[in-house]
Structure 1
Amino acid sequence: MPYDDSPPPPESASSVDPDRRPFFARRATLVVAAAALAPACLAGWVLVNVLTGNGGAPRTPAPLAGQQPHANDAKPNAHSAPPASTAAGGSVETPAQDAHAGDPTPPPGEPTGAPSPRPRGPLAGKTVVVDPGHNTGNFQHSREINQKVDIGTGRKECDTTGTTTNSGYKEAEFTLDVAKRLREVLEQQGATVVLTHTADRPFGPCIDERARIGNEAAADAVVSIHADGVSAGSRGFHVILPARVSGGAADTSAIVGPSRDLGTRIAGNFARTTGLGPSNYVGGGTGLVVRDDLGGLNLSKRPKVFIECGNMRDAKDAALLMSQDWRQKAAQGIADGIVGFLGG
């Protein structure tokens, strides 16, 4: 067959195998394609960041399920909630926090430092001062608490140690526990609650200062919490009301009537909630006693009562006073009386 040295006919573009194209032709094609895709990718990236609010900031990927964060991963800030721990039964438990340890972190959209809203309730806008009787530190400060202070009608010791049960449970421990429980109940009803002390001081405060705290707070109601220490067999609670006194800094004329109303409401609710009856040794079965020798009442300018929640020296009463469940009932009974007095 004769040799044909003429060039082969040119191939059409559609018939050429792409892998057989010259290298420079393939590179040119890729450059054109990349140039066409770049604006579209950029526009898509901008759109995603605008919609998500990322702003282009680098994002730390979330760990996969079951994967622990690396030690060098970003740590939560100081306001982040602690991670929940899983209990043996599979339920999630979070550590309990004191409601008064600090303000919670505001939710998104609220300015940092904004006060948390107080629950609305029948006591919204009301201020209640709760006075836990005595102080456990008084036992170590007998000289200080024996100093006399003016109670208007005379002079009386700054404070006393309070009593104890036969097993050594102090009245001051009882009163502070009930006071904190009462504060929580009242705050849930919307009240602003002031405690005269939280055992954060070595002794006291003195009885005149306790009255002054309620006056300066312009309290709508003041309750001083105590437990009695009389002979065994003497049982029950009683509420002490201020007598009408006038002398020196003492003038109870404006508070005698409203204090009686407050005390009557507390007595009724306390008996109903705790199941403990009125005192069988004072008050004639009414649960109400009037006294003119208590500086905390004489110097008060706000409606105020004392409540002796039971007798620590009687075994049956003492068993109630040492019960956490009963102390919660005591706090609830006092709170219910306050709510009724303040028109809730």
Structure 2
Amino acid sequence: MVAVRAKTLPLLTGLLLLTACSGGGGAPAPSPAAAPSSSVTSVASSPAASSSTPPSSSSAPPPVRPGKVVVLDAGHNGGNASHPAEINRKVPAGRGQTKPCNTTGTSTDGGYPEHAFTFAVTQEVGNALAAKGFKVVYTRSNDSGVGPCVDRRAEIGNDANADAVVSIHADGSTSASAHGFHVAYSSPPLNAAQGDPSLRLARTMRDGLKGDGFATSTYIGSAGLSPRADLAGLNLSTRPAVLVECGNMRNSAEAEQMSSAAGRAHYAKAIAAAIEAYLAS
């Protein structure tokens, strides 16, 4: 399967290259979402990103489920566009390759940025899982920092000995008619965790999103699954890991859904339920 997609291009020093997935990247970043709940761990992973300790909850936290750790990776970051030197720095990407540290992400035609969407959805997913007693670790704690780099994001999941690592993104296909979600996983696998565990996580995520009413991608992958050998966060993971492209931000219907609080809540509900189903299997 050969798929052509326009996700992002790295920034050139002093110049933001606008592609089908980075158009509107100059839109101002929204205010950061609320801090994670007390049962959530935030990991600051970039020199330019700030770290914060979540406030204590007034109510008793749910019991943590032993051994059940979920690492949630919100794609990109709000400060990436203003720090080209930092995010253009080459880092290991697995399979003997290197890639830029990070990218700016894409946006809707109306200017709603991917980094804001992924951060908001990730927070909702994390809150839902923490309420069920899972230990949740984030790769970034705000939407105003830079990075972390893709290799560091994988390292956070590895260091946490995560039972599941889920990276949340939105796509930016050049075709406005292209729509639907797809779930990427590392293929061919480079270690045992990238084999059956990651494939089961990918299938469970696909089935969960599809069962909650989301359509599978019409333009990349097959039946909502996309085996990839070029994604650093998946290549470098030693834990079960997938990357969810929630839909095409350049498709008007999906852009409208992603830009609304109700739409983001719908994505978060489906993703959280799929993670819980995988961990229960």
How many pairs align?
Answer: 231
Q: 1:289 is matched with which residue?
A: 226
User: Counterpart amino acid of 1:272?
Assistant: G
Quick check: 2:204–2:278 contact (8 Å CA) kept in 1?
yes
If the length of structure 2 is used for normalisation, what is the TM-score? Answer: 0.77
Do structure 1's residue 276 and structure 2's residue 238 form an aligned pair? no
Q: 1:234 is matched with which residue?
A: 178
Quick check: 1:236–1:310 contact (8 Å CA) kept in 2?
yes
Quick check: 2:117–2:258 contact (8 Å CA) kept in 1?
yes
In structure 1, runs of 5+ residues without a counterpart are: 1-95, 106-115, 246-250
Matches of 2:253 and 2:56 in 1, distance apart?
Answer: 41
- In structure 2, relative to structure 1, the CA distance for the partners of 1:104 and 1:321 (3 Å cut) is closer
Matches of 2:37 and 2:182 in 1, distance apart?
Answer: 31
- In structure 2, relative to structure 1, the CA distance for the partners of 1:272 and 1:124 (3 Å cut) is farther
Deviation track 1:247-270 (CA, whole Å, cap 9, x = no partner) reads xxxx33432210110111111111
Do structure 1's residue 315 and structure 2's residue 252 form an aligned pair? yes
Q: 1:325 is matched with which residue?
A: 262
If the length of structure 1 is used for normalisation, what is the TM-score? Answer: 0.64
Matches of 1:300 and 1:202 in 2, distance apart?
Answer: 23
CA positional deviation for 1:152 = 2.5
- In structure 2, relative to structure 1, the CA distance for the partners of 1:313 and 1:201 (3 Å cut) is closer
Q: 1:248 is matched with which residue?
A: none
CA positional deviation for 1:192 = 0.5
Matches of 2:159 and 2:248 in 1, distance apart?
Answer: 32
Q: 2:77 is matched with which residue?
A: 135
Quick check: 1:243–1:252 contact (8 Å CA) kept in 2?
no
Q: 2:104 is matched with which residue?
A: 161
Deviating 4+ runs (over 2 angstroms): 96-105, 198-202, 251-255
Deviation track 1:268-290 (CA, whole Å, cap 9, x = no partner) reads 111222x2200011123x10000
Quick check: 1:241–1:263 contact (8 Å CA) kept in 2?
yes
Question: Which residue among 143, 153, 163 is the counterpart of 1:210?
Answer: 153
Deviation track 1:124-169 (CA, whole Å, cap 9, x = no partner) reads 5411000000001111011211111112221111111000100110
In structure 2, runs of 5+ residues without a counterpart are: 1-33, 39-53
Matches of 1:97 and 1:312 in 2, distance apart?
Answer: 25
Quick check: 1:262–1:341 contact (8 Å CA) kept in 2?
yes
Matches of 2:234 and 2:36 in 1, distance apart?
Answer: 31
Helix, strand or coil at the partner of 1:136: coil
Quick check: 1:242–1:252 contact (8 Å CA) kept in 2?
no
Report percent identity of matched pairs. 44
Matches of 1:340 and 1:302 in 2, distance apart?
Answer: 17
Q: 2:279 is matched with which residue?
A: 342
- In structure 2, relative to structure 1, the CA distance for the partners of 1:316 and 1:104 (3 Å cut) is closer
**Structure with the bigger percentage of helix:** 1
Matches of 1:322 and 1:192 in 2, distance apart?
Answer: 28
Matches of 1:223 and 1:98 in 2, distance apart?
Answer: 17
Q: 1:254 is matched with which residue?
A: 193
Q: 2:37 is matched with which residue?
A: 99
Helix, strand or coil at the partner of 2:107: coil
CA positional deviation for 1:332 = 1.2
Matches of 1:151 and 1:138 in 2, distance apart?
Answer: 19
Deviation track 1:107-134 (CA, whole Å, cap 9, x = no partner) reads xxxxxxxxx754148x554110000000
User: Counterpart amino acid of 1:208?
Assistant: D
Do structure 1's residue 188 and structure 2's residue 131 form an aligned pair? yes
User: Counterpart amino acid of 2:164?
Assistant: A
